[in-house]
Chain A
Amino acid sequence: MKKFPTHSYDYLLHVQREISETLNESTDIYETLQSCLEKLLKMMNLSTGWIFLLYNHDDYELASYHQLPPALNKNDQAIMKQQEGCSDCYCLNRYREGRLAQAVQSIRCARLSDALSLDKHADTNGLTHHASVPLTVRGSKVGLLNLATPGMRDFEKEELLLLESIAFQIGATVERIRLYHKQSDLLITKERTRLARDLHDSVKQKLFALSLTSKGIEALSKDLPAITDAAKDVGTLSQEALQEMQSLIWQLRPEHGEDPLADTLEKHALRLGLRPFIQCRTLPLTETVNESLTKIGQEAIYNVFKHAETDQLSIVLDTVDEGVVFEISDPGVGGAFPHPSRLGMKSMQERAEQIGADFTVTSRTEQGQKLRFA
């Protein structure tokens, strides 16, 4: 890269151009932010930087980072991600409370102080402060870009303008990428609905007709055992295909209704010929949590169907002591514990982890089984 004095018109234009190009390149938010951050640091001759993305409530995410000092980087950047204690983070707090009035502000880093108070020999690379640049879109807070370098210098007037304009661009890019993904989710749902309808309207009817016809042939071919056998095979195959089709259609169909979770799980259980008791309170869950619970519920119902040797099960979603509890129980044979590594159990475990839920299994031979997610 050519060296320009930081206040030169050429330099500013050059940085601006590079960043615009980077932000324009991808629809992967992490990839985009990461390469934008790296380029910016390099061009502005700074050592360290990171980007927080803000979500509803107090939720935030470390979306990208570059050359964090060991004190911040250790244990998978634990100190950069912790939710507890983040109320002490000066930059996020001041931003949330609207006290980050200036476009770029130098702030003492609470996380670095924390790291030092935990271990006074923690390696901070000599960093104590960072510059915080708010990322906003249409006035709403999207995230925070933090920049630091040992012996943090003051930015020149032109650099401040540059950072301000880059912050606007990053904000708009975050918004663009979020909208892009929302749009593709919508398209996927639409396409799935269409597929389900097509399968239902044409393929399923034809398979049923096929199964009827093969039975007819079977009946007419009494004296021709070779044909009878073949017709039986066709009949069995078409029955199997019908069942599979049924479950495919069911999986494809997006669920509507007032209580999609309860509805979905009930239909799933009924479809398998089980007698479910479902009591799900309508809770303001996020789409991700709702989807995970649906998938976990389906898996659990299928396990009851396959292993429990009973057709009764109970699924309860309720609030207990400010937390949410999702419980699936059956009075069947139990005994899942000898095989906790089975794929189904494992995938439930993983899904539970994804939404930050604790997963416990109670299962005793001959005494049923209970799965609990809290």
Chain B
Amino acid sequence: MPTTVLLVDDHNVVLKGLRFFLETKADLHVVGMANDGKEAYALAMDVRPDVIVMDVIMPGQNGIVTTEQLKKDLPDTKIIMLTSSAEKEHVIPAIRAGADGYQLKDIDPDYLYETIVHVASGEREHALHPQVASQLMTHVATDDGPMHLLFSRQEKRKPFAK
């Protein structure tokens, strides 16, 4: 049984490209496409896909709110955010809303395929774009940040050592 996938994006050109590419993979099956959050919710409740690939910024209801609702009503469906924004204002709320993955729209399509397959089987591997991962790391790190990785505080303050 191939993994069923629902695609959500307000750009039709992206939806079309995604479907074309993912349909070449024998283990995936695109079961539906939606242009905004409300449509995505109704469709997902109907087709109950294994995975949803969801844009974040969409007119009407955005991807984060929709993810939160769907995670409540379809707890078994995995949701991967696919967006062009790696801003912390989007990354952190999306993860909090229950997103299982977060990829950016400059990703190599093969890598996106890997992400879908891994997330569908419940693995965390490949779930986050490296940029998103480092964004999360920076903001989860303590007040001092990952400074200890570099130099001690003492050393940092020293004037130029010859």
Contact = CB atoms under 8 A, between A and B. Distances in A.
A277 B105 contact: no
A370 interface: yes
Interface in A285-330: 312-314, 316, 329-330
Interface stretch (B13-21, B41-49, B71-79, B119-127): B13-21
Given A271-B131, A275-B146, A329-B150, A210 B138 contact: no
Range class of the B interface residue count: 20 to 34
Instruction: Tell me if A's interface is mostly helix, strand, loop or mixed.
Output: helix
A270 B135 CA distance: 7
A137 to B, nearest CB: 42
Given A277-B146, A370-B160, A208 B20 contact: no
A331 interface: yes
Interface string B80-100: 000010100000000000000
A205 B11 CA distance: 7
Contacts of B156: 314, 316, 329
A209 B11 CA distance: 10
Given A210-B17, A362-B162, 9 more contacts: A209-B17, A212-B14, A213-B16, A215-B24, A220-B24, A239-B106, A243-B106, A314-B151, A316-B156
A273 B13 contact: no
B131 A215 contact: no
Contact of B13 (A206, A266, A270): A206
A372 interface: yes
Size band of the interface chain A makes with B: 35 or more
A329 B105 contact: no
A278 B108 CA distance: 29
Contact of B20 (A212, A330, A370): A212
A347 to B, nearest CB: 22
A216 B105 contact: no
Interface of B: 11, 13-14, 16-18, 20-21, 23-25, 84, 86, 105-106, 108-110, 130-131, 134-135, 137-138, 145-147, 149-151, 156, 160-162
A270 B150 contact: no
Contacts of A266: 138
A246 B105 CA distance: 10
A312 B131 contact: no
Given A273-B134, A275-B137, A212 B160 contact: no
B23 A314 contact: no
A276 interface: yes
B109 A215 contact: yes
B135 A209 contact: no
A213 B149 contact: no
Given A266-B138, A277-B145, A312-B149, A208 B17 contact: yes
B138 A276 contact: yes
